Chain A
Amino acid sequence: MNLVTNNKWIGQRTIRPDGMDKVTGRAQFAADTTMPGMIWGKVLRSPHPHARIRSIDTSKAEKLPGVKAVVTSKDIVDFPIEKGAVMLGIQDMRWMCRNVMARDKALFPGHPIAAVAATTEAIAEEACKLIEVDYEVLPWSIEIDDALKLDAPILHEFNKFDGKPSNIVGRLEHKKGDIAEGFKKADIVIERTFTTRPVHQGYIEPHACLISVAPDGKTTIWSSSQGQFMVRAMTAYLTGIPQSDIRAIPAEIGGGFGGKTIVYLEPLATLLAKKSGRPVKMVMTREEVMRATGPTSGSKSTVKIGATKDGKIVAAHGTFYLQAGAFPGSPIRGAAGCSFTPYDIPNLLSEGYDVCSNRSKVAAYRAPGAPIGAYAVECVLDEVAEALKMDPLDFRLKNAAKEGTKAAHGPVFPRIGYVETVEAAKASPHYAAPLGDGNGKLRGRGVASGFWFNAGGESSAQVNITEDGNVVVTTGHPDIGGSRAGIANICAELLGIDYRRVSVIIGDTQTVGFSNLTGGSRVLFASSMVVTQSTEKIIQTLRERAAKIWEIDPEAVKWENGAAHPASPNAGQFEPLTLEELAEKAPAMGGPIGAGVQLNTQGADGGFGTHVCDVEVDVDLGIARVIRYTAVQDVGRAIHPGYVEGQLQGGVAQGIGWALNEEYIYTKEGKVDNPGFLDYRMPVCSDLPMIDCIMVEIPNPKHPQGVKGVGEVPLVPVMAAVANAIYNALGKRFYALPMSPPKVLEKLEAPMQEAAE
């Protein structure tokens, strides 16, 4: 494919198409819309971590004045477990139907039991209290160790592991060489066990939807999600309404980070709307978001790495246990598949275990699983480098995967940019700068790397030339990070016109072709492919139209700077025909100008990053602060550098939160004890320094603009970089997250225990 080289718009920091509405408060998010006759839906949720539902009596709730409909699991289409998996993407509808509404058992506090629609939110809430549920309360477990005990309560009795009922609901492994042989060659072997807590994606916008079901069954869904087609398909599955009758309109989405790749409210609101004959709006409270959506897995990982004296890794073994929550599906693929991938390791075994326990079902979170695994691997690498007395970046360079390296999860790498990220980190002003005096506080520096698969998949686009010669691009992916800005740059570049003449919108399910989720760092990669091909078709049409007007061969017409020109003096002397002129002549010259392309895009290359982190630890208060941070990443091609940097900076901020503060804390009754932003402490502005970005651009040869996904890699190395920096500051290693003030103090105040270990 031709890489565009002379750019006017690609690589420019243009104004995003949706920006004006967002700075003026006009952007319509899911909770911002109303419909005539709209009523409100609320969910009754289980107070118990684990309970059999003997019966549900909704009669009192139904009699409450103002109540218009009540639904329970009886109204949701069942996907019987024994009939086997019904997959939609990576989600099994057997679990989805039980996650949106508990069937025989409630599996976590917050698990929906019933839903009510009433004329006001207050009446709907009151009605929920009138629903009588007879629970048989069961023993429960939340932590991985508890769920794996021999006498642990089993969430899904049908599930067997090693022939016995078990909470281990899945396992995968990646293998290369022979680790037993490999470790024999090692001069040094280090093995450590790490734990991380569940953390929430933390999007500021709670889940919300507004749904109308007309008497003829035509359904309109206005909701916040990472995929309107996912919303349509899951709602169709769970309500029995055909997809052709469901128009899912993507509202502006107030953050997702993976957490809005499944549905929670839409099937319930659809059924309530159908039963009541009224449009139904549902908006989660923050507490509901924290109790019943996301988070990512808590984990327990053991990583063993062996290296020779000259710094070559000869063997590695990783075992990653991840908490799935109530239903199977924790991101073991990311943990086991990504963690060792930056390195060329001849003998490797990487195993992932999916463990169910009584907390909310895990949802994807930015490079799902990869940050958890990288935390363990990159911390052990730091110890190995230290034992070998090697600079940690030199150690990584010595073992770096490069073109031709076979990754344990399958691929043989094409040209990749990992080495370049390490070299750029090494050459950065940050890595060369002295740590400086902490004025009584201890300072340290750490580094870490990370990998994420990235993804391609299905995308559709329609590009239309308006009658006045401007451009409207419709794609099918909700834009969370600025993908519309990237698309505008690319389309303007190809057409040779000002980017402000390109309007980019996100179509709904009935106006644009199927497009898979916004996830996997796939959106700009995939959508720019279909937009490029659509635009190329349009340029071909424009050349043909000009050729017809000039009465020459279309091959003798070139498209440049927004106009058709004779390709060479031999073609004849003609004044250029601009896009506006050709649009004006369109009706007489063959009709409207537009093109659509639908592809299952291929060729998404994985992404690599290397981070450098400085911390300062107040040893009296136990507070660790990140005081300087540099994120280096191979971004392929930065179509809009401002939003690429934004991805890096945002990912780093989430990782710093995960490393230093964020965690789910449970009461002894098994309920989340910090279901709000005050006690679930995400980084605020005063917690963070500026986050420096170094964008290494190794264009993806399989993409017309060289794009690689960039959104997820930036979270992968962060916790290890912070942990390694804290070790460098304190001389003590932490093997558990978060490294929050009480835990840092505990460590600092236990010198004897440390020495004894």
Chain B
Amino acid sequence: MAKVHVTTTINGEPMEFLCEPSDTMLDALRGPLGLTGSKEGCASGDCGACSITIDDRLVCSCLMLAVESEGHEIRTIEGLAQGERLHPLQQKFLEMAALQCGICTSGMLVASDALLKKNPDPSEEEVRFWLAGNLCRCTGYDKIVRAVMETAAEMRAH
């Protein structure tokens, strides 16, 4: 069982790790890399709790092999805040009660951030369809959608 050596960039920092060829990126993040902010809700790409970006593309890390990160740039929930300064989405989620249990929150924030990078002025419908791959069982999505739209409005104003 020879492990594979992978060199990648995670949240802006060069990183190396060893993994099984069959390990998913989520396995690597939560295992050797110790980044447990990405959650496993289904392992089949249906819940979005493990959402990350690879070279700014939003993916479910449970559907990506860890070895595929070689030479690429990975971003996870742990890289969303800049040091002590929260990302405006994180701040707005807190202010607007856009989370309850918090298990989907990492994925929601990563996905919302990816949306606002592509589309700084999304309609409610665009937010809803973009986040359709991120299941939340607690909130009914209302406050999440409002928080994303309000963050977008504030970010446009600044």
Check: B144 CB closer than 8 A to any chain A CB. Answer: yes
User: 8 Å CB contacts to A: which residues of B122-158?
Assistant: 124-125, 127-129, 131-146
Name the one of A25, A29, A676 contacting B44, with C-beta atoms under 8 angstroms.
A676
| Size bin of chain B's contact surface | 35 or more
Q: Which residues of A contact B102 (CB under 8 A)?
A: 18, 21-22, 27, 29, 252, 254
Cβ–Cβ contact B46 & A677, under 8 A:
yes
Q: Which residues of A contact B140 (CB under 8 A)?
A: 646, 649-653, 683, 688, 691
Residue of B nearest to A642 (CB): B97
Cβ–Cβ contact B131 & A13, under 8 A:
no
Q: How many of A's residues come within 8 Å of B, CB to CB?
A: 58
Q: Which residues of B contact A646 (CB under 8 A)?
A: 97, 100, 138-140, 143
Binds B, one of A100-108, A166-174, A202-210: A202-210
Cβ–Cβ contact B109 & A685, under 8 A:
no
Q: Which residues of A contact B47 (CB under 8 A)?
A: 204, 677
Cβ–Cβ contact B90 & A643, under 8 A:
no
Binds A, one of B2-10, B63-71, B75-83: B75-83
Cβ–Cβ contact B90 & A685, under 8 A:
no
Q: Which residues of A contact B86 (CB under 8 A)?
A: 23-24
Check: A627 CB closer than 8 A to any chain B CB. Answer: no
Residue of A nearest to B106 (CB): A25
Residue of A nearest to B131 (CB): A685
User: 8 Å CB contacts to B: which residues of A658-708?
Assistant: 676-678, 682-688, 690-691
Check: A15 CB closer than 8 A to any chain B CB. Answer: yes
Cβ–Cβ contact B94 & A20, under 8 A:
yes
Residue of B nearest to A648 (CB): B140
Q: A23-B94, A286-B42 are in contact. Are A686 and B100 (CB under 8 A)?
A: no
Cβ–Cβ contact B145 & A204, under 8 A:
no
Check: B18 CB closer than 8 A to any chain A CB. Answer: no
Check: B59 CB closer than 8 A to any chain A CB. Answer: no
Name the one of B43, B80, B129, B133 contacting A24, with C-beta atoms under 8 angstroms.
B80
Q: Which residues of A contact B93 (CB under 8 A)?
A: 19, 23
Cβ–Cβ contact B38 & A25, under 8 A:
yes
Name the one of A15, A643, A678 contacting B100, with C-beta atoms under 8 angstroms.
A643
Q: Which residues of B contact A23 (CB under 8 A)?
A: 86, 90, 93-94, 99, 105, 109
Q: How distant is B131 from chain A, measured CB to nearest CB, in Å? A: 4
Number of A-B contacts (CB under 8 A): 181
Residue of A nearest to B134 (CB): A685
Q: A26-B37, A286-B41, A642-B97 are in contact. Are A204 and B136 (CB under 8 A)?
A: yes
Cβ–Cβ contact A685 & B43, under 8 A:
no
Q: Which residues of A contact B96 (CB under 8 A)?
A: 13, 642
Cβ–Cβ contact A16 & B94, under 8 A:
yes
Residue of B nearest to A200 (CB): B137
Cβ–Cβ contact A686 & B101, under 8 A:
no
Residue of B nearest to A649 (CB): B140
Name the one of B94, B103, B139 contacting A649, with C-beta atoms under 8 angstroms.
B139
The 0/1 profile, CB within 8 Å of B marked 1, for residues 455-489 of chain A is 00000000000000000000000001110000000
The 0/1 profile, CB within 8 Å of B marked 1, for residues 26-61 of chain A is 111101100000000000000000000000000000
Q: Which residues of A contact B139 (CB under 8 A)?
A: 646, 649-650, 653
Cα-based distance from A285 to B145 in the complex (angstroms): 29
Name the one of B42, B106, B133 contacting A684, with C-beta atoms under 8 angstroms.
B133
Residue of A nearest to B46 (CB): A677
Check: B49 CB closer than 8 A to any chain A CB. Answer: yes
Cα-based distance from A651 to B140 in the complex (angstroms): 8
Name the one of A22, A645, A651 contacting B99, with C-beta atoms under 8 angstroms.
A22
Q: How distant is B138 from chain A, measured CB to nearest CB, in Å? A: 5
Cα-based distance from A718 to B113 in the complex (angstroms): 33
Top 3 nearest A-B pairs (CB, nearest first) are A25-B37, A254-B103, A642-B97
Binding site for B on A (CB under 8 A): 13, 15-16, 18-29, 31-32, 201-206, 252-257, 283, 285-286, 480-482, 640, 642-643, 645-646, 649-654, 676-678, 682-688, 690-691
* Cross-chain pairs A/B with CB under 8 angstroms, 7 sampled: A13-B97, A21-B102, A25-B80, A204-B101, A205-B39, A685-B134, A686-B129
Given A685-B131, A688-B128, 20 more A-B residue pairs with CB atoms under 8 Å apart are: A24-B77, A25-B35, A31-B40, A32-B36, A204-B103, A205-B39, A254-B41, A255-B101, A256-B101, A481-B100, A482-B97, A649-B140, A650-B100, A678-B44, A684-B134, A685-B129, A686-B125, A688-B142, A690-B124, A690-B145
